[in-house]
Every structure is written in C-alpha cells, then in structure tokens.
Amino acid sequence: MTSEANVTRRRHMAQWGAFEAVVENGRFVAAEPFADDPEPSDILQAMPESVYHRSRIDRPHVRQGFLERGPDSRAGRGADPYVPVSWDRALDLVADELARVKAAHGNEAIFAGSYGWASAGQLHHSKTVLQRFMGFHGGYVGQMGSYSVAAALAIVPHVTGDAAATAGPITSWESIIAECGLVVAFGGLPMRNDQVGTRGVGEHRLGGYLARAHAAGCRFVNVSPVRADMSETVEPEWLAIRPNTDTALMLGLAHTLASEGLADRDFLASHCHGYDRFEAYLLGRNDGQPKDAAWAAALTGLEAPAIRDLARRMAATRTMVTASWSLQRGDHGEQPFWMLITLAAMLGQIGLPGGGFGLGYGSIAGMGGVRRPVGLPTLPRPENQVRNSIPVARIADMLLDPGGAYDFNGAARRYPDIRLVYWCGGNPFHHHQDLNRLVEAWRRPETIVVHEPWWTATARHADIVLPATTSLERNDVGGGQRDRYLFAMQQAIEPVGEARNDFDIFAGLAERLGFAEAYDEGRDEMGWIEHLYEVTRQQAAGAGVSWPDFETFWRTGHTESPEAETPHVLFAAFRADPEAHPLRTPSGKLEIHSPTIESFGYDDCPGMPTWLTPTEWLGAAAAARHPLHMLSSQPGGRLHSQLDQCAVSRAGKVADREPIVLNRADAAARGIAEGDVVRVFNDRGQVLAGAVLSDGIRAGVVQLSTGAWYDPETPGEIGSLDKHGNANVLTLDKGTSRLAQGPSAHSALVEVERITGEPPAVTAFDPPPAAAE
C-alpha cells in the first residue's frame, strides 16, 4: 500500500484543461481536473499513459543513412533505422549542420516554421524558443497564418479592418443568452472542439452557455452535413447541407432578404461599402442568374421553401449568424466568411446585443467566453533578419519548388531554397495535406532536425532526433489565449530517459555556436518564469487587475482575472457611431465590395463574395469516380494527433483503426457493415479505417477525423497504404485562393470499399528499428 508521504500533487495545465498531477513514488499516476472547471475534458485522463508510453524517445538518435552518407541518404527518410548517440554527439552534429548551411547558403536556407500546438506553457513554447534561438543565429524562414484559420486571417481584415471577428473577442455568450432569439450556425457548434484551447484551458463552459441560451428561449439551427455538430440538448433544427456549398446557401438567404424587402437598407447605406455592386450580382443583373432560393437549393441539396422560411425567420428576430472555422478550410474558403458577414449586414444587426455575426463559436475553447484582460507572458524573440516567410500551408510547395513564384494577399512572392528544416513542436505529418506529396517534399532538404517526446511520423522522417521533455517534466507558466486564468505549471516528475527541455537543448547549441549569453541572458528556468510572470503582472496592474507576487502565485498554483461586468458586443461602438469609431478598412466601413481585393485581379477571389465552384465537391465530374465527400474533423478523444497512442483515443478506434462515419444507405450500397475494416481511397492515396454507420450524416458524405498517426504499410514508400486511417493521406494540398493560400482539406472526394481478408496490424505506436553505429 502506498504511503501518503510518497504522494505529491503539482498544479499544472494542458491545452485540454488545468489539473493537479498526482505523483506516487516519483511516478505520475493521475490528473485530477481543476476544481473550478465546470466541464473538464476526459482527454486529461490520457496524460499519465502518454508520459511513459513505449513510443517515448529515450535518448538522441540519428538516422543510420545520415550518419553514413549525410544528405545523399535523403531517400531513406521514413524507412531507415536509427542509431542512439550521446547528447554531445547529437548537439555537435546539429551545430555543425547549422553552421555549414549558414556559411554555404545563408540563413534563408533554414526553415524554422515549426507550426503546431506543441504543449502548453509560455517559457517552453516550442515555436517561440526555437525562433528565439534562430534569431540569434542570424534568422530563418518562418510561416504566416494558421492551418485553423488561414483563409479567415486573410479575408476578414479586408472586410472588417482586423481579425477580431475570427480570433476574438467576439460577442459574448452572455449577450446571446440575454438578447438572442435565433442562432444560425454554419458548421454547427461542435462540443468536441470546446475541449481544447490554444496555450491551455482553465474552464470549459460551452455546454453551460448552450443550456442557458436554450432555456432563455433561443432557438438553434445546425447547418452542417453532420447532425452531431450541435448538441441535441438545444433541440436544434438540422439542415443537412452538401459540403462546400455554404456560400450558395447564404446567397439564397440573402436573395430572399433583398427581394422581399427584408434587408436593412439603412444599415447597408450607413455602415457598409459596396452593397449596390454586390446586389447586382445577387439579383442576377450581371450574369442573368439570380442567386435565389431555387438556385441555392440545386447546389446545396436543401429545399427552396426551407431556405426562404429561414431567411424570413432570421429577419423577424434578433439573430446571431455564426460560422465554424472549418468552413474556410475548403477550396475558396474565403468566400463563406465574406458572405456570412454580408448576410449579417443585410439583417442589420451587427453591433447589437446578441445579434450580428461571429466566426469560431464552437471551434475552440473560450470563443465567446470571458475575455482575458492582459496578454500572456511571452519569451522575447530577436527580430528575424530573414524577411521571407511562407503561408503556413504551403510547406510542400516550398520544398518542391525552390525559387518558384506564387501570389499571396496582393504580393508576388518566391519560395526560398531550403537546405535545413528545424522542427520543434507540432507535427506536419498531422497538419499538412496530401501526405504522399509531403513525403516526397520532405526528401528535398539536406538536413532535418526534430525535437520530439514521441516517435511520431515527423520524428521518423528526421535525420537527427532530439528527445524533448513533456510539460510534466519541467516548470513553466501557462494560460489560455481565451481564458482568464494564469497557472503555475509545476514540474511533477523527473525527465523520462535522457529527455531535455527545448530551452536547455537550444542553450547547448547556443554555447557551441557562440551566443549563449545573448540566448539565456543569465537566467535559468525558474529565473525566466519569475521574470515573465512579473512583467505580465505589471501589465495587469496597468489594466486595473491585481495579481499576487510570484512567490504567492507559485505556491497557490494559479491566479485569475475577474469576469467583465458587461457582456462584450462585437462592433458595438462602430454601430453606434461609424464616424467616430470607423473600421480600419479603406472606407472605414464593412467592405461588402473590396476595391483592394479587386485590384489584385484574382479570379479565385474576386472583389466581393461570390459563389465559386470548388475543385472537388459532390457536384463535380470527379464525383463519378470518387462519389463521397470526406470531412476531416477534429477528433473527440485527443487534440489533433496528440495522445492518439493513449487509451482515451484508442477507445474510439474500430478494429484498431480510425473510425469513418458513413450514412447507412451509402454503407448498404457498398456491402459495408458496422465494424468492417474499409479501404478509403482517391488518386492521392489510400488508408484503412473502421466503419461506423449513422443516420446522422448526410448521404454522400463521410467523416474521418484527423490525427491518426501516419502508419504506411511500407515505410518511406510514396503511395503506400496507410494502415491506421490518417485522413491527410487523402486531403487536397491546394491553396484556398491566391489571396490566402490556406489549406483546402475539406474539399476532398473519396471512395470507400470493404476489404476482405486479415488487415495488416497497426504499428504506428511502435518505435522504429534501431541500429548500432
């Protein structure tokens, strides 16, 4: 029996919740949710298993081919065995490669984008500490934007003047509960997304907000191919729309408002620019095709009377129009967000309590919740001397086409010639589309260095692999970007194996490269944590928020900011007086027509919201060969690919594979039964998945969540069958448009067939083969 004297508890947090780490005899055994979290996530329960899982990287490793032949062995990435080496040997190799590439090709040949969620914590935030180190090394090529909202971050500032409508703060749920009569949610309000938040979550509240709004009389409409994208507790009306046609539905709704005299023309005249030009398109004066309900019905698969009825209901009550971030992750993803803002402007409720629009409710924890009064502590980074960055989702294009020309948000740009990739935090073999294309692109750089706690596919495709600690094995300070708490992240256990934290790894490299003093500024881990806290504490005091001194904060484990006394309403000041509070657009108004975008001359993103036919959708000729539209959603039992190896995620697997949800009629037509292992395929690749049958998904649509660890049957082989069900083997690697160059993952057609015989075993979580030097 364990003695209580051998049990310790440490405050901590993760991107799925704050908790106390329970440690017995030096071993992390349980995560007890933060007492003030009303809806803690079950994902927390995966953490102890993850720390000690067999997939942990125990020491530095170097790919055997790289040790023997250097860059000439690039074709062996993903297939070669790995050789364990000492830390000194590994750091010497990395420092030598950084120095060599810089001397021979300059810093523009070093890519240090390292996009990804990494782990919670501000000092040990992987991308930040990497770019601090690289800044002192002379610079690096980075990334612009986000896989989650790349198209939105490009289009919304052109329309509203900034990104607040996408990133927050947006109109609060408290305002919706008090004033809203109807929420029309394009893409739904999926509860699974509310489990996770950028940099951490102190409290999960979406379920409570929805319950209170429903009890207050607010009605909900779920516009999504998937019924489960909105909680049944609010008794939503379900409009099972055809994927990628939301813009067409919004146009049909807008046509009804315009043609039946329901549009607020006073608001359009006083607060909007360019509506008249848009209306000419909407009514068909330009092309002879009115974008009416009948036209929209043919594209969306909905009924024209239902479209007209919804438009009338939206005009008759205080209405909040929302869009999930998922909508803009399809071909021409800029258009649904632009059109949603236009639709809300026609209703004339932007800036009113409980009305208008919001982008991202239900997409991530904290959207519409309590506002953070001050920013988070942030490790400073020196100015990057390399001016060339790429749009976040164009990694494969960059590696495959060095020097190639491309357009981005009005600028003509060229891809750099990358010789060294340094990846620290995140997992491109989860985030990026068309993994077979990425495998090919990943062979182009001369050297790839990766920091990882686990043998993910990214680690398995690296030349030098440095084992990183998890957050439980280090101290830090953390808080969610959309959360009012700040947490002490107290080290709970000693590092597993020879793992080191990223800050210390870079300190070792900085010493070898001659800038150690500039890099660490003479502070150790706790010195930096206290410094970052005190800087932010002073900022909080300036905002009228009192935080305790560092010693008290660290002892008590967290501090919090008070909730706002009045609910936030997006664009309230602008609505009240557009002359005194203009938007930061060229006109100072909402730009329904944008002369700036029109001047770019992009046929894939014209100067006003427009229906543009997606490259892949159920109305395309390609649907004859691949007749099912695949949605690659955020999973319910993990954060993207994080913790996929643990029991919480594995409990949702079917026959050890990622589950794929099919409509019962589609399954019956293919002879597929519940629990069958199926092959999902298109011209880009093929995966195995486990069949789940449902009446809650539109016919012709399948749902295969992202994040299953990539597990090719023949490692390193382009086109090899993925045994585990990684959706990004199948997704389209194409920019949303020349404006944003965002990912188009949700524009993907596939076919599904039942396999016969015994499927190959899943080996994604087993370490790669080892070799002796």
For the beta carbon of residue 294, count every other beta carbon within 10 angstroms.
15
**Residues forming beta bridges with residue 661, ordered by sequence position:** 692, 703
Question: Which residues are part of the catalytic machinery?
Answer: 115, 117
The DSSP code for 662 is E
Say if CB 330 and CB 245 are below 8 A apart: no
What one-letter code names the amino acid at 81? Answer: P
What is the number of residues in the chain? 773
Q: Phi/psi of residue 736, each to 5°?
A: -60, -40
Say if CB 337 and CB 323 are below 8 A apart: yes
Residue pointed to by tokens 């969610």: 480
CA 718 vs. chain centroid, Å, equals: 26
Contacts of residues 577-581 at CB distance under 8 Å and 24 or more positions apart, as own/partner, are: 578/270, 578/271
Say if CB 190 and CB 634 are below 8 A apart: yes
Q: CA-CA distance, 521 to 534, in Å (whole number)?
A: 16
- Is the bond preceding 169 in cis, omega lying within 30 degrees of 0? yes
Residue pointed to by tokens 């799925």: 16
Residue spans of alpha helices (H) in 216-357: 246-259, 265-271, 275-282, 293-300, 304-316, 334-347
Which of 744, 730, 630, 624 has its CA nearest to residue 685? 730
Describe the chain by its helix, strand, coil percentages, rounded to 5.
Answer: 35, 20, 45
Q: CA-CA distance, 584 to 597, in Å (whole number)?
A: 15
The side-by-side arrangement of strands in the sheet containing 17-24 is: 7-14, 17-24, 27-33
- Dihedral of the CA atoms 502, 423, 81, 494 (nearest 10)? 20
Q: CA-CA distance, 25 to 19, in Å (whole number)?
A: 19
